[in-house]
Structure 1
Amino acid sequence: MLQRKLAKSCQSCHVEYKLTAALRYRAPDFSTVMVESEETMEEEKYDWVMSRLTLLVNRIKIASEDQRTDTGITALDDLQQRLVDLGGSCSSCHKQERQRELVLGKAAQDALAEVREGLTAGDAKKVGRYVGEFAVGVCANCHAIHRMQSDMRGLLSPE
């Protein structure tokens, strides 16, 4: 069947396989992305950085519920630094500041400022609300844009 389509024209395949080709060749491949840690100046694998971010967000929430303010604030400081590191990695593809601002910008920082206030005040409800707001605004938005495409690319690519 493919031979028959190839015999017609190049365009016949390009029209039918446009989405597949875009996912396979243009979607991000995070397996090769490295994130430089500003703290250690070492490059770390993207998957490890993502795991670390997840751990830190969970640590903040749990520390708040357990009334462990210092642990929560330490995790929040670490999370904010890791986001700065991640933003540096994003700039390798996203050349315009506006693109990075949409996910990692003012809204994210405002939510984390509210998390800090909640931790300091011992207000677990406030921490939970703003950790959730942060997770939707940053994690979910970025994953909706990139992760789905990347996962599909992985399914389509034999490597």
Structure 2
Amino acid sequence: MKKMKLGLIALLFFFFSPLPAFSSDFVVAPPPKSMDKYYADSGRISEWIAQMRKLSTAFSAIFVSLDKENWVLAEKYSAKFIDSYKKASEMIPEWKEEFDLKAANELKESILAKDMKKLGRASETLGKTCSHCHSKNNTSVWARYHWPSTDSIKVLDPIDEKELPYDVFMEKLSDSLKRISVNFEQEDFQQAWRSLDVFKKRITSLRSVCSKCHVDEWTKGSTSVKEFFVGNDILGVLQEIKKDFATGEPSEKNFRKNIDYINKRSCKTCHLVHQPVAAIQQAWQQKN
């Protein structure tokens, strides 16, 4: 029985492997339009996700039951798994071929017959089909449905007093930051001070953008998502630069240290998180 347990655990790890294997010609293609209806209500868990959870929970329960040598429960959960698996196979017509209903039925039959070899074969087949579908489609589903496009985001520019498209505002924000360094290098500290004020106003305005995607996170807990990239630490560093400017002889070492902190802690980290998906979305738009 020990060997049986080890084998079942191995199969579970195979099925739920968090590191899918990608082919050398892997392409992030847009998910089928038929999936849109399952993500129509952004305030609720997607019906597709809910179905996937039912499916995976039932599959796990089969092996947990078998690990306890409870074949009756294993049979019960295999029936639930087949029902969930069949329903999922019908939800996205374009993905119907990704599901192996024959293997799902063989899984149940092997449990009824208490045939461990047949159970192993059926489980391995199901594991491969699931892993293939996940590695092929997960990234595209995340990019379309879990990352709102910045095309719909507008930001109020506190300097121009106009509502601007997100990409236009970000260009202005970047220009504001660069002007601080350029004026500092030219020892035009008065103009560097003015540029600092402009940048501070714009990056403060940027904080409002977080809530346009992170609606739930914005209202829960004491730490807001805005603290990750445009938090009080960034505003504090800007204040340090301003105080140094006020001396009339600002330290270049301190200035570089503070500007580097902003570049790495705010700009770079935010871009690393958000730009890859934005690039995928833009590539899809250009193909349409």
Amino acid corresponding to residue 57 of structure 1 in structure 2: L
Match of 1:153 in 2: 281
**Alignment equivalent of 1:26, drawn from 134, 146, 149:** 146
Count of equivalent residues: 157
Q: Which residue of 1 aligns with 2:268?
A: 140
2:148–2:213 Cα contact (<8 Å) kept: no
**Whole-angstrom CA distance in 2 between matches of 1:148 and 1:47:** 15
In the TM superposition, residue 8 of structure 1 has moved relative to its aligned partner by 4.9
Normalising by structure 1, we get a TM-score of 0.84
CA distance in 2, matches of 1:50, 1:4: 38
Which of 157, 163, 166 is the equivalent residue of 1:37? 157
CA distance in 1, matches of 2:229, 2:190: 27
What is the percent sequence identity of the aligned residues?
A: 18
Match of 1:130 among 252, 255, 258: 258
SS of equivalent residue, structure 2 residue 187 = coil
Given that residues 36 and 89 in structure 1 are in contact (C-alpha distance below 8 angstroms), is that contact kept between their aligned partners in structure 2? no
What 5-or-longer segments of structure 2 have no aligned partner?
1-92, 101-128
Q: CA RMSD in A?
A: 2.6
Partner AA of 2:264 in structure 1: V
User: What's the secondary structure of 1:17's corresponding residue?
Assistant: helix
Query: Take 2:140 and 2:278, find their aligned partners in 1: how far apart are those partners?
Result: 12
2:155/2:164 contact within 8 Å kept:
yes
Residue 24 of structure 1 deviates from its aligned partner by 2.9
Please give the per-residue CA displacement for 1:8-27, whole angstroms capped at 9, x wherever unaligned.
53985852311122123322
Whether the aligned pair in 1 keeps the contact of 2:98 and 2:133 (CA below 8 Å) is no
Q: Cα deviation per residue 1:85-107 (whole Å; 9 max; x = unaligned)? A: 11112222223252111211121
TM-score, length basis structure 2: 0.49
CA 1:14–1:61: 2 relative to 1, 3 Å: same
Aligned residue in 1 for 2:32: none
Residues 5 and 34 of structure 1, relative CA distance in 2, 3 Å threshold: closer
Higher relative contact order (CA 8 A, sep 6+): 1
Within the alignment, does 1:87 sit opposite 2:204 as a pair? no
Residue identity matched to 2:234? A
Q: Check 1:23–1:4 CA distance in 2 against 1; reply closer, same or farther (3 A cut).
A: closer
2:155 alignment partner, SS class? strand
